[in-house]
């Protein structure tokens, strides 16, 4: 969007230290180290445009901002600029859990105070924050006499990209994000492309040019961009619709049942719109901008919030070995064959035993409550009550058994998207959980939303997800949400929000065409930008023909890549998703899942390229051990890394879990090799990844005794060497 002439109406002092008004009337705001610059202009027609530079290059061309209200009926596009505020923040804060133990929040802020010129008198502010790795901005409707309750018809935000960038996208959709990613230039975006819409139960795509965020892009000259949002609360999610004639994205808010976008009351604010930019892909992955734009924790006492690993009566349901349904019926196309009920007291005890033996914190059980016999697919009102177990699931006995073994039970609440029903039951259900010793719940929203006509990503549901976080927090319950809106960093504000799905998880590999080998390398740059994902890694039995010779489905990775995912995909809640018996057959490889941490003091993205590979190393919270994960797409790759993240004064036992030389995701996915070496910060390690493969490494420091012994041996060797000479 090219501007014509600037309005002469821009009036502000040129004395602010973060910005200067130059002679032609621009407002420039530079990030703390100067790598990002925001430029605002107030056009001759009184519209407001913003532009973003990265290291002197245009990252986002002049793009318009504005709001269209339905009630009152007014377009907020042309403004008087009545004031400008600036400030700067440089602070450090500590997340309750995370990829790093402390986070620097360092930005320059600009607030534009605007008044509508069309006669409504409505005041609007646009707040910009300029970081070294990008910008965030939000609309704020202050308390005012010209506006009280109002309805948003559309948000008129634009993101004008500088060219036909390569993009990693999924179709815009009001209800699901469980798609495989499409990699194409912006020009080739087409959300109607049939193949990726399979197996989606609630699909509502609305425009062939629409995509979802986080949207990842790369320009021909090597700049990386990520567009998303932060602090999505009391507002619908934002999709983006591209105008291919000039590569401009326009915001498209998810509507409600009657086509409105948001119901607000002043003072009110939109979520932050975020543009992360860098010339290094690794810096996109390590950006903390989205977290920094969220509010600090609203939960005061957080000692009950515990990062953890879980196993569960779960994968056996997805592979069709057992059923959620007490009567043994199966979901969807598999309905004809009956299989045993999975959530029996005896079966759950086996999982508890395995967890206790292997240091796994929790056991998730799905299909424990009545309703599964009649839950699927028909927009039914009252299916589940969340407190009535099937007769073969003894809640009390399992509570005692789990407690005696030091294992926590994890609750499952599938709502079948009958959300009004869930809201009626929430208090009762959480009290029931606490009564029987459950501190964490996995929620689920499969199907079309009730209230009918609402969408998973609309304002009504966004408010519901927040109510769940607030209510569970009041009961000291942690949450893992499946089928929610995509995350936007809210885990800073509600740290009991451990993880969510909101993308195409590993489960698709059990019963569909699955996730292509590049999937997890793209997820890092897209879905994971908003927060931790319950991807459910750790599948060791890769081919589903193991369960049923007729099945052609398979996981599209090697076994070692499944291990590496525990590091490349950060989550404070990680599932060891496969069956205990499949782990028992490979306890040497399972050792990595036992050892790997889920909460970290530090994280280093060593190398990465969206759609190709990701290599990440992380230091366990409060410990000296490090873990490394490397994953590749369908191509074999070799890397040589220097583990210079290690403490320079220590030696480490490194255990390398790598693809066997003959391994590949399709024909030989389970072949692996485990090697043990002594590692030192300056000693190179070579990584060899099979097609669709990965590599996982644990670095455990030498004990004091081992170090002593090692030093003595080294001294002895030196002495002998000297003698010889
Ligand atoms: C879909 C979820 O993603 C999956 O994890 C769960 O097992 C089923 N819904 C049943 O609730
Ligand atoms: Ca799902």
Three-state SS for 318-374 is HCCCCECCCCCCCCHHHHHCCCCECCCHHHHHHHHHHHHHHCCCEEEECCCECCHHH
**Which atom number of ligand 1 is nearest to the Cα of residue 483?**
3
- Best probe residue, ligand 1, of 314, 482, 511, 536 (max atoms within 8 Å of C-beta): 482
Ligand 1 pocket, 534 CB below 6 A? no
Give the C-alpha separation, 429 to 413, whole Å.
Answer: 9
Note if 414 is an active site residue.
no
**Which atom number of ligand 1 is nearest to the Cα of residue 501?**
3
Domain with 132 in it: what CATH number?
2.70.98.10
pLDDT band of 24, cuts 50, 70, 90: very low
| pLDDT of the residue at 203 | 60
**Which atom number of ligand 1 is nearest to the Cα of residue 412?**
11
Domain boundary among 135, 156, 177: 156
**471 φ, ψ to 5°?**
-70, -45
Ligand 1 pocket, 501 CB below 6 A? yes
Ligand number nearest CA of 502 is: 2
Q: What's the rounded mean pLDDT across residues 434-447? A: 97
In a domain, 628, yes or no: no
Ligand number nearest CA of 414 is: 1
Ligand number nearest CA of 384 is: 1
Enter the pTM of the model: 0.95
Distances (CA, A) of 416 to 282, 320, 374, 457: 38, 20, 10, 16
| pLDDT of the residue at 330 | 76
Residue 578 has pLDDT above 80, yes or no: yes
Ligand number nearest CA of 313 is: 1
Give the C-alpha separation, 661 to 118, whole Å.
Answer: 69
Domain with 384 in it: what CATH number?
3.20.20.70
- How much is the mean pLDDT over the chain? 94
pLDDT band of 335, cuts 50, 70, 90: low
Q: Which of 507, 520, 553, 670 is catalytic?
A: 507
Distance (angstroms) between ligand 2 centre and the Cα of 613 equals 25
What DSSP line would sit under 27-47, residue for residue? EEEE-TTSSEEEEEEEBTTS-
For ligand 1, atom 11, which residue shows the shortest CA distance? 414
More confident residue, 328 or 527: 527
Give the C-alpha separation, 464 to 471, whole Å.
Answer: 10
Ligand number nearest CA of 443 is: 1
Give the C-alpha separation, 3 to 618, whole Å.
Answer: 46
pLDDT band of 18, cuts 50, 70, 90: very low
Give the C-alpha separation, 720 to 555, whole Å.
Answer: 54
Distance (angstroms) between ligand 2 centre and the Cα of 324 equals 15
Residue 22 has pLDDT above 90, yes or no: no
Ligand 1 pocket, 482 CB below 6 A? yes
Give the three-class secondary structure for 534. Answer: coil
Give the C-alpha separation, 81 to 115, whole Å.
Answer: 7
**Which atom number of ligand 1 is nearest to the Cα of residue 314?**
7
199-214 pLDDT tens trace: 444 566 789 999 999 9
231-242 pLDDT tens trace: 999 999 999 999
- With a CB cutoff of 8 Å and minimum separation 6, the contacts of 626 are 617, 618, 619, 620, 643, 645, 646, 652, 698, 699
Provide the number of structural domains found in the chain: 2
In a domain, 94, yes or no: yes
Ligand 1 pocket, 507 CB below 6 A? yes
pLDDT band of 166, cuts 50, 70, 90: very high
In a domain, 273, yes or no: no
Tracing tokens 């070995």 back to the chain, one arrives at: 321
**Which atom number of ligand 1 is nearest to the Cα of residue 317?**
7
Domain boundary among 113, 138, 156: 156
Distance (angstroms) between ligand 1 centre and the Cα of 547 equals 19
Give the C-alpha separation, 577 to 102, whole Å.
Answer: 30
Of 183-192, 310-319, 328-337, 607-616, minimum mean pLDDT range: 328-337
**100 φ, ψ to 5°?**
-140, 160
- Best probe residue, ligand 1, of 367, 369, 446, 509 (max atoms within 8 Å of C-beta): 446
In a domain, 372, yes or no: yes
Share of the chain above pLDDT 70, in %: 94
**Which atom number of ligand 1 is nearest to the Cα of residue 318?**
7
Ligand 1 pocket, 414 CB below 6 A? yes
For ligand 1, atom 10, which residue shows the shortest CA distance? 414
Give the C-alpha separation, 53 to 314, whole Å.
Answer: 47
Question: Cis link prior to 214 (omega < 30° from 0)?
Answer: yes
510-542 pLDDT tens trace: 999 999 999 999 999 999 999 999 999 999 999
Distance (angstroms) between ligand 1 centre and the Cα of 444 equals 6
| Helix 419-435 vs helix 459-474: crossing angle, to nearest 10 | 10
265-293 pLDDT tens trace: 999 999 999 999 999 999 999 999 999 99
In a domain, 226, yes or no: no
- Alpha-carbon radius of gyration of the chain: 26
Give the three-class secondary structure for 194. Answer: helix
Cα within 13 Å of Cα(174), Cβ side:
22
Give the C-alpha separation, 723 to 36, whole Å.
Answer: 61
Ligand 1 pocket, 366 CB below 6 A? yes
In a domain, 616, yes or no: no
Q: What's the rounded mean pLDDT across residues 39-50? A: 95
Distance (angstroms) between ligand 1 centre and the Cα of 63 equals 40
Distance (angstroms) between ligand 1 centre and the Cα of 717 equals 59
- Best probe residue, ligand 1, of 366, 502, 510 (max atoms within 8 Å of C-beta): 366
- Chain centroid to Cα 301, Å, comes to 25
Domain boundary among 578, 596, 614: 596
CB 205 within 8 A of CB 173: yes
In a domain, 695, yes or no: no
Distance (angstroms) between ligand 2 centre and the Cα of 569 equals 17
Q: Domain range holding 28? A: 1-156
Distance (angstroms) between ligand 2 centre and the Cα of 329 equals 19
């Amino acid at each position: 969007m090219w501007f014509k002439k600037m309005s002469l109406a821009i009036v502000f002092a040129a004395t602010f230290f973060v910005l200067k008004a130059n002679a032609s009337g621009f407002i420039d705001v530079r990030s703390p180290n100067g790598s990002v610059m925001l430029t605002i202009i107030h056009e001759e027609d009184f519209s407001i445009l913003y532009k973003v530079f990265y290291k002197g290059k245009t990252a986002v061309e002049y793009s318009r901002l504005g709001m269209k209200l339905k009630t009152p009926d007014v377009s907020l596009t042309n403004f008087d600029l009545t004031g400008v505020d600036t400030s700067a923040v440089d602070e450090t804060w500590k997340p309750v859990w995370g990829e790093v133990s402390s986070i620097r929040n360092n930005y320059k802020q600009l607030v534009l105070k605007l008044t509508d010129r069309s006669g409504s008198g409505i005041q609007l502010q646009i707040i910009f924050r300029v970081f070294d790795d990008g910008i965030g901005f939000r609309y704020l409707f202050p308390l005012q006499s010209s506006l009280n309750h109002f309805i948003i018809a559309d948000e008129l935000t634009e993101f004008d990209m500088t060219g036909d960038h390569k993009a990693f996208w999924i179709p815009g959709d009001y209800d699901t994000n469980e798609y495989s990613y499409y990699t194409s230039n912006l020009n080739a975006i087409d959300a109607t492309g049939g193949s990726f819409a399979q197996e989606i139960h609630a699909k509502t795509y609305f425009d062939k040019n629409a995509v979802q965020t986080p949207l990842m892009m790369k320009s021909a000259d090597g700049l990386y961009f990520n567009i998303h949002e932060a602090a999505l609360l009391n507002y619908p999610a934002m999709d983006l619709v591209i105008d291919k004639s000039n590569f401009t994205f326009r915001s498209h808010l998810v509507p409600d049942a009657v086509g409105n976008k948001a119901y607000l009351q002043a003072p009110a604010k939109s979520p932050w719109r975020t543009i992360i930019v860098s010339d290094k892909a690794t810096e996109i992955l390590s950006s903390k901008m989205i977290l920094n734009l969220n509010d600090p924790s609203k939960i005061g006492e957080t000692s009950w919030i515990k990062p953890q690993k879980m196993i569960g009566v779960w994968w056996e349901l997805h592979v069709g070995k057992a059923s959620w349904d007490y009567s043994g019926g199966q979901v969807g196309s598999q309905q004809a064959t009956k299989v045993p009920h999975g959530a029996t007291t005896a079966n759950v005890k086996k999982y508890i035993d395995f967890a206790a033996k292997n240091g796994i914190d929790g056991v998730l059980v799905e299909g424990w409550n009545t309703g599964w016999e009649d839950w699927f697919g028909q927009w039914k009102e009252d299916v589940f009550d969340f407190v009535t177990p099937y007769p073969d699931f003894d809640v009390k006995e399992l509570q005692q058994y789990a407690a005696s073994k030091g294992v926590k039970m994890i609750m499952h609440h599938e709502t079948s998207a009958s959300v009004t029903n869930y809201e009626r039951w929430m208090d009762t259900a959480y009290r029931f959980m606490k009564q029987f010793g459950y501190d964490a719940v996995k929620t689920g929203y499969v199907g079309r939303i009730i209230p009918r006509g609402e969408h998973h990503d609309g304002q009504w549901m966004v408010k519901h997800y927040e109510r769940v976080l607030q209510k569970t927090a009041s009961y000291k319950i942690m949450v893992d949400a499946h089928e929610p809106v995509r995350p936007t960093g809210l885990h800073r504000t509600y740290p009991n929000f451990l993880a969510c799905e909101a993308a195409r998880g590993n489960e698709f590999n059990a019963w569909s065409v699955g996730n292509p080998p590049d999937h997890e390398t793209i997820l890092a740059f897209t879905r994971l930008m908003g927060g931790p994902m319950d991807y459910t890694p750790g599948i060791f039995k890769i081919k589903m023909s193991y369960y049923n010779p007729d099945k052609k489905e398979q996981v599209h990775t090697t076994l070692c890549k499944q291990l590496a995912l525990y590091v490349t995909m950060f989550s404070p809640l990680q599932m060891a998703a496969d069956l205990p018996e499949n782990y028992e057959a490979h306890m040497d490889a399972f050792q990595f899942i036992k050892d790997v941490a889920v909460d970290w003091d530090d994280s280093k993205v060593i190398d990465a390229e969206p759609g190709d590979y990701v290599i990440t190393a992380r230091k366990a919270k409060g410990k000296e051990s490090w873990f490394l994960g490397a994953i590749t797409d369908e191509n074999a790759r070799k890397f040589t890394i220097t583990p210079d993240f290690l403490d320079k004064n220590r030696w480490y036992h490194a255990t390398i879990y790598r693809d066997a030389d003959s391994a590949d995701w399709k024909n030989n996915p389970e072949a692996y090799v485990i090697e043990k070496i002594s590692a030192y910060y300056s000693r190179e390690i070579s990584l060899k990844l099979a097609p669709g493969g990965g590599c996982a490494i644990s670095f455990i420091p030498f004990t004091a005794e081992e170090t002593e012994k090692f030093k003595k041996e080294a001294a002895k060797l030196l002495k002998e060497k000297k003698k010889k000479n």
